[in-house]
Amino acid sequence: MPELPEVEVSRLGITPHVLGQKVKAVQVWFPTLRWPIPEAVKLLQGEEIVAIRRRAKYLLLDCVHGSLIIHLGMSGKLHVLPTEQPRQKHDHFELELDNGMSLRLNDARRFGAVLWQLPDETHVLLASLGPEPLTDDFDGERLFALSRGKAAPVKSFIMDNAVVVGVGNIYANEALFASGIDPRRAAGKVSKARYQKLAELIKVILARAIVQGGTTLKDFMQADGKPGYFKQELSVYGRAGELCSICGSKIKQIRIGQRNSFYCPKCQR
């Protein structure tokens, strides 16, 4: 599933081609993705895209009448290509732009979403989200304060979107390894100093992943069709049974919150 870096890479990829363009037509080829595509998305027709933003794993394309919200789901990809290029299998939604290009959502599993948000309103899916991890609103003080008394594993805690958005499974594993924190440890048992280090490393790892174009494990591709290269820098994720790059112990794999989790039994405590 595309995580925050992959969504940010998608935003950066489509922005030069979409920002400032007028929408000539809105094509809905499959009206029911994760949720039905609302008729209000047709309000984009004839409007200029004045901003392209990301909130957590959602992309927002703003115009005067509201914002188109796109979620990539499990396998969604955004492509910018000439409008006359034939529609491909699993192309479900398209914005035809006045520069002769189109923005298309391709989603084989159809678990993505295309939604609408009115001006000066916040969609229900965005209403309860925590701070963005790459901003000053997120730090170790926040993690420490919110974690007190919590028995849930620290990995589940930092993946809670009410705590901080966008720390998905891949990057939670990597940040905890870099911080030396066992993912099974109760969130309330992690010290303030260790949370400060963890918050700093979450920022570093997410920023590095964005620079590398995200992580391609199976489905994710950038808007230009290139894979993400951060996979080459993964220290523990997907490396069960391989040797830890620091101590040489075998990386272990367990399930935490129904997610595959990877850690070094010696380096993380």
- Which positions are annotated as active-site residues? 2-3, 57, 259
Q: Indicate the pairing of strand 101-106 with strand 77-82.
A: antiparallel
DSSP secondary structure, 67-108, as one string: EEEEE-TTT-EEEEEETTSPPPTTEEEEEEETTSEEEEEE-T
The structure tokens listed for 239 are 């490396």
Q: Indicate the annotated binding residues.
A: 90, 109, 150
Asked if 171 and 136 touch (Cβ cutoff 8 Å), the reply is no
Cα–Cα distance list, 85 to 24, 98, 101, 104 (Å): 16, 15, 9, 11
Phi/psi of residue 19, each to 5°?
-60, 130
CA dist 52 and 27 (Å) reads 19
10 CB-near residues (< 8 Å, 6+ apart) = 2, 59, 72, 77, 78, 222, 223
Per the document, the length of the chain is: 269
Asked if 224 and 13 touch (Cβ cutoff 8 Å), the reply is yes
Identify any residues that bridge with 78 across adjacent strands, giving them in sequence order: 105
If you search the block for the tokens 């174009």, which residue do you land on?
213
Q: Indicate the annotated binding residues for DNA.
A: 90, 109, 150
CA dist 30 and 41 (Å) reads 13
Closest C-alpha among 186, 185, 156, 175 to residue 236: 175
